[in-house]
Amino acid sequence: MAAMLNLYISPSSSSCRRAEKWLNDHGIRFDKRDISKHPLNVDDLKQILRLSENGTEDLISTRCHSYKRLKRKLDFDNLRISQLIDLMVEYPDLIRRPLIFNNQQLQVGFSEERIRSFLPKETRKAMLNDLLDRANENITA
């Protein structure tokens, strides 16, 4: 059985809406959490960071207003991870969204190519076979 998928969103984000629609369109069950209404705490962020490839660099949105304001006062590159986590708790808009994850992998932001990794293996295999069959039909036509 596949691990339960989590989708952490902010409803005002078009990327979050696209991710939710994609998951629904592909019949993938998920737990949804609006992190603007139910912000992440330190333990939530530690769990997510364990899945990230590049730590807080993957999670922090450098385009948000809070980052731009804080950047004037802080040197993000020289902060300890605990300080960065505390900042993300205090300023939730620092967190890139959507966050899509299970207990094995994390995707930050919406990418139609990368989100496919959350499809069950059998589904991905069937989609690939279908794609190859169509490619072969085009070659022989």
How far apart CA 32 and CA 6 sit, in angstroms, is 6
Q: What is the pLDDT of residue 42?
A: 97
pTM of the model: 0.83
- Kindly list the structural domains of the chain, giving each domain's residue range(s) and its CATH number in brackets, ordered by start: 5-140 (3.40.30.10)
pLDDT digits (tens, 9 = 90+) for 22-47: 999 998 999 999 999 999 999 999 99
pLDDT digits (tens, 9 = 90+) for 41-82: 999 999 999 999 999 999 999 999 999 999 999 999 999 999
How far apart CA 24 and CA 6 sit, in angstroms, is 13
Question: How do 5-9 and 30-34 pair as beta strands?
Answer: parallel
